[in-house]
């Protein structure tokens, strides 16, 4: 038995008049990528300098304007990476790099050495403030912990006066979620007072969920509490840095934005210590699906994923929202049918508004293809098979024919498992388009005798191969299809009744082919079969479909 009594419930925030539940996210926050610091330090094999540069350049291309590039006072490679960015002039003018350091004198001084040559930088200092860490790690009281933050701020301020570029201060009360809220506000205000923060000299106050301890609504309460109780909210950029220990990083971030946060620190695909940081791609794409410009370019998700996987040696989970290999894939028959109908309605309505069941986003917006959306296995149904045939090969099968064809596919998947689109088409080709025995269409000649007294104005001559022998038969009717069917009925072939006929173009342009579908019922039995034909000439496509259906009826009759 799991001993749940060894754990205690974390405290909530007493905020009875909270306002965040009534708010809406209407714009993107300031994004800060911490892939090169928080994400990198959590890798089994940390990135080398060139890999870091590749990641940095991708982040710039995605549109990040603030990028934490490392902890330059912690190791030589971290220091050398920042120097490489500066010395090679790789930092665009509209991008601000951020460096992290503990609020300790020798680390802060080393950090400023690494910044030489920069026009602008965010210097991010932190110290841990939680009840637990004050007790078991530092053995200090509240005043002593506050003094660490204030003295660190004082040193950054002093060194800034000697620095040629602009320095923006960021302060994090690390382990914020385990800190008393009134004390968190007290220590942050003390930092801002020391810095002499003002509306035109704002301090970034980063309130991290260093370890996710509670439900997302509690984090939102903590953020709103601080936003309300800072001495002067106008001198603060409120930043959040959520981790994912309870699996709620995205929800915590979204609720924190509702609660007043201005800025989000996170990583691509949620990389980071333990269960990771909040996944910025997930949060940004959630905004995108609500019609909000996320201010990040994720239009080639596979390319982003490729760089990430190459430099981090980590794999993106197949079910990862928006980027996972299977995230736009449906195996369920009912889901496939709904997607198929939704896609058709989307194109027919042409409103420009994406509304497709089970697909909250158009895969094309991420440069993802439609082919893998529906994958066929034994759980799939007619809708999935129809979707593959239409989106991959252009065949819009009649509804009754979808059911008929899906039975053939079902038999294969029950023994072989998942079936590819190529294999589905091969089965369709064999079962319908190449169904040419015992009767094979060769050619036709049609004559129109329309006049007022002619009951059957269309005369057609059909040349066919009948059990290996070439023959020509003649039929009359109201149109080409009627004439061909009558020719077969009246010349000793299987007598049938036309149940359904449909046709459509397979492609546009001068080389377009037509697809025709015919459903025939043998008049003396209950046998009813579909046939299909393809040809640039719609009449020939229709005749091929009739022969296909007739051959399938013949095959069914012989199998009885």
In whole angstroms, what is the distance from residue 229 CA to residue 558 CA? 86
Is the pTM here over 0.85, yes or no?
no
Q: Compute the Cα dihedral for 153, 158, 161, 162 and give only its sign.
A: negative
Q: Between the CA of residue 391 and those of 370, 397, 407, what are the distances in Å?
A: 7, 11, 20
Please name which of 344, 481, 479, 328 lies closest in space to residue 399, comparing C-alpha atoms. Answer: 344
Task: List the beta bridge partners of residue 347.
Answer: none
Residue 450's pLDDT is what? Answer: 59
User: Any residues with CB less than 8 A from the CB of 141 and at least 6 apart, and which?
Assistant: 134
Residue 25's pLDDT is what? Answer: 97
Burial class (CB within 10 angstroms; exposed 0-12, middle 13-18, buried 19+) of 550: buried
Residue 291's pLDDT is what? Answer: 95
Residue 23's pLDDT is what? Answer: 98
Is residue 498 within 8 Å of residue 553, measured between CB atoms? no
The structural domains of the chain, ordered by start, are 27-312 (3.20.20.70), 333-430 (no CATH), 439-558 (3.30.160.270)
Residue 373's pLDDT is what? Answer: 67
Residue 396's pLDDT is what? Answer: 93
Counting DSSP H helices and E strands in the chain, the numbers are 17, 14
Residue 448's pLDDT is what? Answer: 75
Tokens encoding 49 = 């300098």
Note down pLDDT in tens along the chain; length 560 residues: 788 788 888 888 888 899 999 999 999 999 999 999 999 999 999 999 999 999 999 999 999 999 999 999 999 999 999 999 999 999 999 999 999 999 999 999 999 999 999 999 999 999 999 989 999 988 999 999 999 999 999 999 999 999 999 999 999 999 999 999 999 999 999 999 999 999 999 999 999 999 999 999 999 999 999 999 999 999 999 999 999 999 999 999 999 999 999 999 999 999 999 999 999 999 999 999 999 999 999 999 999 999 999 999 999 999 999 999 888 877 777 787 888 889 889 989 999 999 999 899 999 999 987 656 666 766 766 777 888 898 889 999 998 999 899 888 888 888 888 888 899 999 999 999 999 999 999 999 988 765 545 666 888 999 999 999 999 999 998 888 889 999 999 998 989 999 999 999 997 665 679 999 999 999 988 899 999 999 999 999 999 999 999 999 999 998 87
In whole angstroms, what is the distance from residue 362 CA to residue 394 CA? 19
């Amino acid at each position: 038995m799991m001993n749940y009594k060894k754990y205690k419930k974390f405290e909530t925030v007493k905020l009875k008049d909270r306002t965040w539940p009534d708010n809406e996210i209407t714009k993107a926050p300031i994004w800060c990528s911490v892939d090169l610091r928080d994400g990198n330090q959590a890798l089994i094999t940390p990135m080398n300098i060139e890999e870091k540069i590749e990641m940095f350049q991708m982040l710039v291309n995605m549109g990040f304007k603030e990028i934490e590039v490392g902890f330059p006072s912690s190791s030589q490679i971290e220091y050398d990476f920042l120097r490489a960015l500066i010395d090679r002039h790789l930092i665009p003018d509209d991008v601000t790099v951020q460096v992290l350091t503990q609020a300790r004198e020798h680390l802060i001084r080393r950090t400023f050495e690494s910044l030489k040559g920069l026009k602008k930088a965010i210097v991010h200092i932190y110290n841990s403030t939680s009840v637990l860490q004050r007790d078991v790690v530092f053995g200090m009281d509240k005043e002593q912990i506050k003094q660490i933050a204030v003295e660190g701020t004082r040193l950054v301020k002093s060194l800034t006066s000697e620095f040629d570029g602009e320095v923006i201060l960021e302060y994090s009360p690390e382990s914020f979620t385990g800190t008393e809220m009134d004390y968190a506000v007290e220590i942050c205000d003390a930092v801002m007072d020391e810095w002499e923060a003002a509306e035109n000299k704002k301090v970034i106050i980063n309130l991290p969920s260093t370890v996710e301890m509670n439900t997302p609504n509690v984090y939102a309460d903590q953020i709103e509490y601080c936003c309300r109780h800072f001495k002067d909210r106008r001198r603060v950029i409120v930043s959040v840095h959520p981790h994912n220990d309870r699996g709620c990083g995205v929800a915590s971030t979204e609720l924190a934005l509702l609660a007043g946060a201005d800025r989000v620190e996170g990583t691509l695909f949620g990389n980071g210590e333990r269960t990771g940081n909040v996944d910025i791609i997930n949060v940004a794409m959630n905004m995108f699906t609500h019609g909000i410009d996320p201010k990040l370019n994720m239009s080639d998700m596979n390319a982003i994923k490729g760089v990430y996987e190459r430099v981090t040696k980590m794999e993106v989970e197949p079910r990862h929202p928006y980027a996972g290999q299977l995230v736009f894939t449906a195996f369920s028959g009912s889901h496939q049918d709904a997607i198929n109908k939704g896609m058709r309605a989307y194109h027919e309505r042409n409103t420009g508004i994406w509304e497709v069941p089970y697909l909250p986003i158009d895969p094309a917006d991420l440069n993802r293809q439609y082919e893998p959306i529906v994958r066929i296995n034994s759980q799939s149904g007619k809708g999935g098979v129809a979707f593959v045939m239409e989106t991959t090969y252009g065949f819009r099968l009649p509804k009754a024919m979808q059911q008929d064809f899906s039975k053939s596919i079902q038999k294969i998947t029950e023994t072989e498992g998942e079936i590819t689109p190529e294999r589905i088409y091969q089965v369709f080709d064999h079962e319908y388009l190449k169904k040419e025995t015992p009767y094979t269409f060769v050619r036709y000649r049609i004559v129109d005798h329309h006049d007022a007294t002619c009951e059957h104005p269309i005369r057609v001559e059909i040349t066919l191969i009948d059990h290996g022998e070439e023959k020509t038969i003649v039929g009359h009717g109201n149109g080409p299809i009627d004439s061909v069917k009558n020719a077969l009925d009246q010349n000793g072939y299987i007598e049938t009744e036309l149940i359904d006929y449909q046709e459509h173009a397979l492609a546009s342009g001068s080389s377009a082919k037509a697809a025709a579908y015919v459903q025939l019922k043998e008049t003396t039995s209950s046998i009813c079969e579909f046939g299909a034909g393809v040809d640039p000439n719609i009449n020939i496509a229709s005749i091929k479909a009739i022969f296909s259906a007739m051959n399938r009826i013949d095959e069914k009759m012989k199998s009885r």
